[in-house]
Amino acid sequence: MNIDSPRYGSLDVEPSRIIEFPRGLAGFEDCRRFTLFHPEPESAQTDAAPRYFILQSLDDPGVAFHIADPALFDFTYEITLSDEDTAMLQITDPAQTAVVVILTKESAGQPLRANLNAPLVINLESRRGLQHMFARLDYQLAAE
């Protein structure tokens, strides 16, 4: 499958690289199929693992999100999924899952922010995901 992303150009997506979000994402309910990739390092000499990835919609080429491991923000989750969500994601082993957050930046010069209230839970085996919405997120920030 080929998609022409306005931001990232022409992308060739193997069917095995498609992640399905059966319920879509908040505000983008019609976008249910995505692919995940990371941008090329700014320097070809950099062998470091990417700090963020791009979640590109296959249903609307204009929709793409930067996502990252919440640990980059010194944040971890303990998420309890309903039986319905577990079945929808086809989770048989919690080790199959990854939890990531959507990154936002309002404008140039502004700090990068992570949406901690609505992480994405992705089953890496079944390639199915959902956006988990917290009604209230209880956490503490430690001062250094």
What residue ranges define each of the domains in the chain, with the CATH number in brackets?
A: 2-131 (2.30.290.10)
How far is residue 83's CA from residue 90's CA, in Å, rounded to a whole number? Answer: 10
In DSSP terms, 35 is beta-bridged to: 18, 56
pLDDT tens-digit map of 93-112: 999 999 999 998 777 778 77
The mean per-residue pLDDT over the stretch 117-135 comes to 94
Does the pLDDT value for residue 135 go beyond 60? yes
Cβ–Cβ < 8 Å for 116, 137 = yes
pLDDT tens-digit map of 63-101: 999 999 999 888 888 898 999 999 999 999 999 999 999
Q: What are the phi and psi torsion angles at 96 (to 5°)?
A: -75, -15
Does the pLDDT value for residue 57 go beyond 70? yes
pLDDT tens-digit map of 3-23: 999 988 999 999 999 999 999
CA dihedral in degrees (37, 38, 39, 45; nearest 10)? -140
